[in-house]
Homo-oligomer: A and B are copies of this chain.
Amino acid sequence: MIADPVARIRRFNRAVTLEVGALDTSFLGRGRPLGAARVLNAIGQGLGDVGEIRDALQLDSGLMSRLLRGLEEEKLVVTEPRPDDARRRVARLTSAGRREFAAYERLSNQRAAGLLARHPHADELLAAMDLVASALGRERIAIEEVDPRGEAARHCLAEYYAELARRFEKGFDVSLSRDPQAKDMVHPRGAFLVAMSDGLPLACVGLKGDGGETAEVKRLWVAPSARGLGLGRKLMAAVEERARALGIRMLRLDTNRALPEARALYLKSGWTEIPRFNDDPYADFFFEKRVCAARDA
């Protein structure tokens, strides 16, 4: 009873409400109501269109308008009609606005850093926070196609290689593996997909093509804090879809015996085991799947 799951969630809610409540009122620490601070923050994050901000913050149009007027009176923001459609207006920060936005950012960062400094095992705390945030925000996870040399992809790949090094019996050295060139994983030969959750990349998969009708699926990885959310399955479906759009007819992949959950996923989602098709020292199992085929035929 005392460890009743529901009671534990409610304890979590109380703990977090206290902490996050303090965070909200810290916005008031700069003498501006929360609503105005939120709008300033949204503009600082890069939102410009008034309608966009309104949607993002779920504000009534009247309220939005007034908050914007207030920020204009403070000379933190200027608005102007959009050249291509003069009904819409775009807002941007003045230099004073940028200073003020930076001050809010600093405050938030200080609070977060303070929390970390107070906790002796910051790594575990962060991992737990990631897990909770991913679970709570699972409806807001979006699959995006990104540049495999960009920040999000590099983050995923670094975590992926580190995990292989931990899990493979003999460790993992990326230079021994058949490392695909990044240019084989960008349009129009291939693609690189990541699952983004509020700015944090949680999972990735690469599609490596050579311009022909066959391509290879590589680098499937899901962050430990996001396992169980079905991201592997979603990414595999997305990469198949992407391959179909690129005119690819046959997909292949290889995997290692130290990754049983990956093999289970492939078996479960329509892949067929085939004989070895390369000499990668880390590859133990080989699969293929035809795309563009009639469904369930």
Contact = CB atoms under 8 A, between A and B. Distances in A.
Interface string A112-149: 11011011111011111111111111100000000000
A6 B113 contact: yes
Interface residues of A, number: 59
A12 to B, nearest CB: 4
A109 interface: yes
Mostly, the A contact residues are: helix
A10 interface: yes
A9 B112 contact: yes
A152 interface: yes
Contact of A128 (B115, B119, B132, B138): B132
A110 to B, nearest CB: 9
Given A6-B109, A16-B133, 12 more contacts: A1-B151, A2-B199, A8-B129, A8-B200, A11-B130, A12-B133, A15-B136, A16-B136, A119-B135, A121-B227, A124-B228, A125-B135
A138 B3 CA distance: 18
Nearest to A158: B3
How many copies of this chain does one complex carry? 2
Contact of A108 (B10, B20, B122, B127): B10
Contact of A132 (B108, B109, B132, B152): B132
Given A11-B199, A112-B10, A131 B125 contact: yes
Interface in A142-175: 151-152, 155
Interface string A229-250: 1100000000000000000000
Nearest to A129: B12
A151 B18 CA distance: 26
Contacts of A136: 15-16, 18-19, 115
A99 interface: no
Interface string A4-34: 0111111111111111100110000000000
A113 to B, nearest CB: 6
A130 B228 contact: no
Given A8-B200, A17-B20, A115-B9, A131 B124 contact: yes
Given A3-B200, A135-B125, A228-B121, A20 B13 contact: yes
A12 B118 contact: no
